[in-house]
Structure 1
């Protein structure tokens, strides 16, 4: 089998991208992306898209500068299902870390659902270490469009930035 290398670019996610992000989730998920874009305009967060030459987002994620004090939280990371395990998540996380460095921050953190071993393995490969845990809960849209409350334990991971 031949290997195909596709160049990727990282840029700010825009409102024009929202109709192209149906893979991210339903209306509730897309509304959270729209809110993140508004927060980015206020300078509270950066919200990025990873794109192949087509310019269509295949991964998105943000970094929130409002918490914890003196650091930032990486959140809402998602890679299009058929594009996972191609290194795209690593590209996104490294770009978010670079944004934090650009603000003079010395460390970043993120949380991972204890039921999600695969993302946690990625974060640990990228140098994140366990710093604690907490209970997490959020609303998710089910396949029929109804809202379901999801509750889980979240492992907190932290990384020192060089």
Structure 2
């Protein structure tokens, strides 16, 4: 039985569905991604969304895998640098970390002095831009090999009048 698995990854602009056969190893997902991206399969790591480390490639794919967004990338960790009001903070995250996860960390960085009532209004944007990143996007989407670093700005989001 074929399973469609939602995947984000290095070089993809959005989530895409990759089809693999139930019962195949996770490495089949890396093979499908390699065919699409042109990246050598031997270089690829497969993560579950917000997972800390890559999955074991001989883990068998079961039906429930189609409910989980996966991330395929060549790096294990990305150094995220967040800039705000002349300050910066650094932390490593896996490429499968959602923007929301990084944002949750950034608004709590002490030296940024974000007031708790203002925290829900904050967003992340690529450094020196003002376009808010989608909170569900994986940070690995914005980092291409051989780079291992992502520079972001903490910005105040658009506040609707009401």
Q: Name the TM-score, length of structure 1 as normaliser.
A: 0.26
Greater share of strand residues, 1 or 2?
1
Whose Rg is larger? 2
Q: Name the TM-score, length of structure 2 as normaliser.
A: 0.26
Greater share of helix residues, 1 or 2?
1
Higher relative CO (Cα under 8 Å, sequence separation at least 6) belongs to 2
